[in-house]
Structure formats: structure tokens, C-alpha cells
Amino acid sequence: MQATIDFIRSAFNSQEFIPLHEPRFNGNEKKYLNECIDSTFVSSVGKFVEQFEQMFADYVGAKYAIAAMNGTAALHIALLLADVEQDTEVITQPLTFIATANAISYCGAQPVFVDVDKDTLGLSPQALREFLQQQAKVENGQCINQTTGKVIKACLPMHTFGHPCRIDEITAICAQWHISVVEDAAESLGSYYQGQHTGTFGKVGAFSFNGNKVITSGGGGVIVTNDEALAKQAKHITTTAKVPHPYEYVHDQIGYNYRMTNLNAALLVAQMEQLDSFLAAKRRLAEEYQAFFSKKNMHWVAEPSNSQANYWLQTVILNSQAERDCFLKATNAQGVMTRPIWRLMNELEMFKHCQHGSLSNAKWLEQRAVNIPSSVRL
């Protein structure tokens, strides 16, 4: 245990507190913020919003990117674009951040939890296939849950800690069952599966720029799609569904005040300029961790096959829950910040009633997985 703590301190060249993941502002952030302030366009109208959207779309290889105030808002809108509505269902994974399940609930829909794969930490195609074969039927072009009688509108896989799940298999299964795929790519900017960027496999994808992400504006999110009509609708409803007019205030449907501000976008333009260097630095750290943990009795999570991960949060898997708890206690007591993986969504009070299949892999990981310091080193 002490050897691990000493190694992490050596890797970050610090005897002070080492956070899990802190932001780096080493580029034009202050310059662009000052420019934004001087322009007086600090809200959702301004050149940096559109500049960031174009930069982001180009980077991930999507036709359209629509900037939102945070990743959860982006995910909420993405689900609405997939026609997720009151009293429908969305299949997702229990091993995820709360935003995934919350966004489903915002639509008035119900999450259904299926298991993850141990190697990707993301939604298991095999578990998805088995659940649908046992529980669902296709009727009039819709997937019906035979247990609840509700329409399964969408599947929402998440690329956990930046490691791509088997998204090609998931989209193929969902196509057979008439289910839309919405990707929770919040953690996976800079991650690729079979050479294609995460978030671009499904109907819609959503990313996050929270303060602990690879790039950040303190908050922020973005929706990506290749569908022009969906992109226009996303921009419309994230700006309160206001009908364009020189001075009249007319709104033609229920909308949301979700548009990213020009201030946030200014930060993100500067962060995008440094993204490649951030990713390269994180990969170098991953290589050092891999070399170290290969000599220890701990499993370090490497990028899955056919993938290029961004290594957003470096992860080790301990041999038992008791060992995990000792590791967490010892590291945090010595100022090296580590965190357990999330509590499973189906174990939280508000989702205990939700339908789920066997979640043995998710539970196994919940008891053993730990995130270790992953910041871009200066």
C-alpha cells in the first residue's frame, strides 16, 4: 500500500495533497475571457459559442454540435430528441454517474438496468441481448416490455471513465429491436472505438465539461448528431423554443433555458486548443501506471480491445471490497485523493423499484474499483 502511495507522489512530483483530477488552464483562457467580457456578449449569444460548436463537431467527426449549460442538460435534450417521453422506458447501465438516470427521469421515463462488461466497465451487449430476448417483443414497429407493457424507446450506454463500450454491437442489437441509441459520452472526449469517436455511433450523443473533465469550462455540455433536423430542434428547445423575430417574444413549444453562455464557450475554445496535449499527457501517465501495477497484485484498467481511451480517470480493481476499503482509507489519510466507483443506480432509493436483470458484473466492480489521481501533469 505504501509503495503505491509513494509511486503516485513520485509520478506527480508532489508531497502535497494530490487531487483526483484538477483542471489545467495553460493556454488562451484569460485572453478569450477578457475578449468576451470586452464584447459585453457574456450570455448565450456570442461568437465563442458558435466557434466552440464548430471546433467540437470537427474534432469528434459529427456534422452538428449544440452547446448546452452542462452535461446533464445535454443528456436530457438528447433523450427528448430520441422521443423519450412520459411512461416510456430507457435501458441503461447501473454502473454510472447519477446524471444518466436523472436525465431519463426528467423525461418522465423509467430506467431499466442491464449489466456491464468487466473489461469495458460499460453496457454489456450480451446482457442487453438476453434481456430483450427474455422480456421484450416488437409490435407495430415498437419495442414493448412484456413485463411492464411500456414502450422501450431508447438505450443509453455510457463510456465509463473514457473507456469505450462495445457500442457497435449495442447499436446493431438496438436496430433489430427498434430502439434508438443515445450515447452518454460525458467522460469520453478523445476516446475512439474502431477509429470512430465515441458519441457518434447513436442517434444522438452527449458530452460534459464539468470541472473534473479532460477539458472544462467549470460546467458545460454539448449534444452531437448527424441529423440536421435533430440539430435544429436541439438548438431551438435549448434556447427556450423562441421563434426568431427582431423584437417579439414568441415561443412555440415547451423549451429549456439550457444554452451554453459565451463565457463558458470562451474557456472551452482555449481548452480545445490544448486537448491533444492533454490527451498525450494522460496517456503517458497511463503507461507509467500500467508498468507499476503490472508488478503489484492489483488490476489496472487498460483500454479495451479495438479502442483508444482518453484515460480520463485511471482505475484499479482491488481483490475484494475489504481491500478496496483499506486502500481508500490509507490513500486519503495520506493526502492522495482516491474514490470508489459509484453506488449502483438500482441501489439508490429513487431507483430501487426499477426493473433490472442480473447485475453480477456491475456489483463485482462496485465492490472493487477505485479511481486514482489522473490529472494532466504540469
The number of residues making up the chain comes to: 378
pLDDT the model gives residue 19: 97
Closest C-alpha among 174, 116, 41, 25 to residue 363: 116
pLDDT the model gives residue 298: 83
pLDDT the model gives residue 242: 95
pLDDT the model gives residue 225: 98
Each residue of 76-109: b (16+ CB within 10 Å) or e?
A: bbbbbbbebeeebbbbbbbbbbebbbbbbebbeb
Q: How far is CA 345 from the centre of its chain?
A: 15
Instruction: List the domains of the chain with CATH numbers.
Output: 2-24+275-343+368-372 (3.90.1150.10), 29-274 (3.40.640.10)
Residue ranges, the chain, pLDDT below 70:
none
Residue whose C-alpha cell is 469495458:
120
- Interatomic CA distance for residues 312 and 189, integer angstroms: 9
pLDDT the model gives residue 199: 98
pLDDT the model gives residue 378: 77
